[in-house]
A and B are shown apart, each in its own frame.
Chain A
Amino acid sequence: MKRRDFLKYAGATTAAGSLAGLASCATTPSKARVVVIGGGFGGATAAKYIRLWDPSIDVVLVERESAFTSCPISNLVLAGYSNMQEIGHSYDALRRHGVQVVSDEASAIDPAKKTVRLARGGDITYERLIVSPGIDFNFGEVQGYEAAMNSGRVLHAWKAGAQTIELRRQLEQMRDGGVYVLAIPLAPYRCPPGPYERASMVAAYFKQAKPRSKVLVLDANPDVTSKGGLFKAAWKDLYPGILEYRGNAKAIGVDTANMTVKLEVEDVKGDVLNIVPPHRAGNIAMQAGLITTNNRWCDVDWRTMESKKVPGIYVLGDATLSAPGMPKSASMANGHAKIAAAAIIGALSGRGADPEPKIINTCYSFVSQKEAIRVSSVHQWNAGQSTLLAVKGSGGVSAARSEAEGTYAWNWARTMWADALA
Chain B
Amino acid sequence: MKAILFVAVALTAAPVAAQELPGRNLAATCAICHGTEGRVTTKDSRLIPLAGLPRDHIATQMRAFRDGKRPATVMHQIAKGYTDPQIDAMAAWFAAQKR
Contact = CB atoms under 8 A, between A and B. Distances in A.
Interface string B26-53: 1011111111110011111111000000
Contacts, number: 130
Given A334-B29, A411-B42, A415-B31, A376 B10 contact: no
A338 B78 contact: no
Given A411-B33, A415-B32, A395 B10 contact: no
Contacts of B2: 354-356
A407 B44 contact: yes
Contacts of A360: 29-30, 32, 78, 81
Given A54-B15, A350-B9, A418-B35, A376 B44 contact: no
Interface residues of B, number: 42
Interface of B: 2, 5-6, 8-10, 12, 14-16, 18, 21-22, 24-26, 28-37, 40-47, 73-74, 77-78, 80-82, 86
Interface of A: 48-49, 52-56, 331, 334-335, 338, 342, 349-352, 354-360, 362, 374, 376-378, 380, 391, 393-396, 398-399, 404-405, 407-408, 410-412, 414-419, 422
A378 B79 CA distance: 9
Please give me the 5 A-B residue pairs with the lowest Cβ-Cβ distance, nearest first: A378-B81, A394-B81, A414-B42, A391-B81, A394-B80
Given A376-B74, A391-B80, A419-B35, 6 more contacts: A56-B15, A331-B32, A334-B29, A351-B14, A404-B73, A414-B44
Task: Tell me what chain B mostly uses at the interface: helix, strand, loop, or mixed.
Answer: loop
Given A349-B14, A350-B12, A378 B43 contact: no
Nearest to A378: B81
